[in-house]
Amino acid sequence: MFAAFRLPELTRYPLWYDEVFSLTLAQQDWAELLRRAVADRTNPPLFYALLKAWIGIGGESVAWMRLLPCLCGILVAVPLVALARRWLGDLPAAFAAGMAAAASPLAVFLANELRGYSLLLLLATLSCLAFARLTDDRAGAGAAGPVPPLALLVAVNVALVYAHYFGWLVVGAEVGAAAF
């Protein structure tokens, strides 16, 4: 459902100012990309760096470039349903939550914009899931997986704050919840 709502929207409209800004940064050499991203002070450089690598793989067609944030918007379904299942307790409720998120007009729109918003959503959802697994009393703090839960949470949160400054809000909420 996430793909069905997002993929048809890839080329519905031409690039607009903020998207052109993303493309302009991604077209720079690595040093200049980082310098301009830091100087801009509106977004950290992770999305621009990913976009630069993505363009290096497939070129600069609007459909290809927008596929990067669109894939992030589609992939968010996996941690979102896992998180909903963890909090809601059963698969049908988690599936319903996933369906509602799949059809969200704002989420669909932002997943098809050449900006870091869907990457922010993906990483924030992964962060919340990693935090839930780390603090889940039923599983224990050292539970499951090849990567220790704290290491996973730290890695996701580092990526999160390098993807968008609003990532700090998620990290702050998790620190506050842990302290509480």
- The length of the chain, given as a count of residues: 180
CB hemisphere CA count around 30 (13 angstroms):
4
What is the model's pLDDT at position 145?
66
Q: What is the pLDDT of residue 147?
A: 79
The structure tokens listed for 146 are: 């090849």
8 A C-beta contact, residue 68 and residue 111: no
Q: From the CB of residue 95, how many other CB atoms can be counted at a distance below 10 Å?
A: 15
Is the Cα dihedral 126, 128, 131, 137 positive or negative?
negative
What pLDDT digit, counting tens, does each position of 122-151 carry?
999 999 999 999 988 545 544 556 778 899
Ranges of H-type helices in the chain:
2-6, 17-26, 30-40, 46-58, 62-75, 77-88, 91-102, 105-111, 117-135, 149-163, 167-179
Hey, what are 77's tokens? 């379904």
Mean pLDDT for 105-128 is: 95
Structure pTM?
0.91
pLDDT in tens, 41-71: 888 999 999 999 999 999 999 999 999 999 9
3-state DSSP call for residue 170?
helix
Query: 76 is written with which tokens?
Result: 């968010």
The candidate with the shortest Cα–Cα distance to 27, out of 53, 57, 58, is: 53
Q: For residue 63, what pLDDT is reported?
A: 96
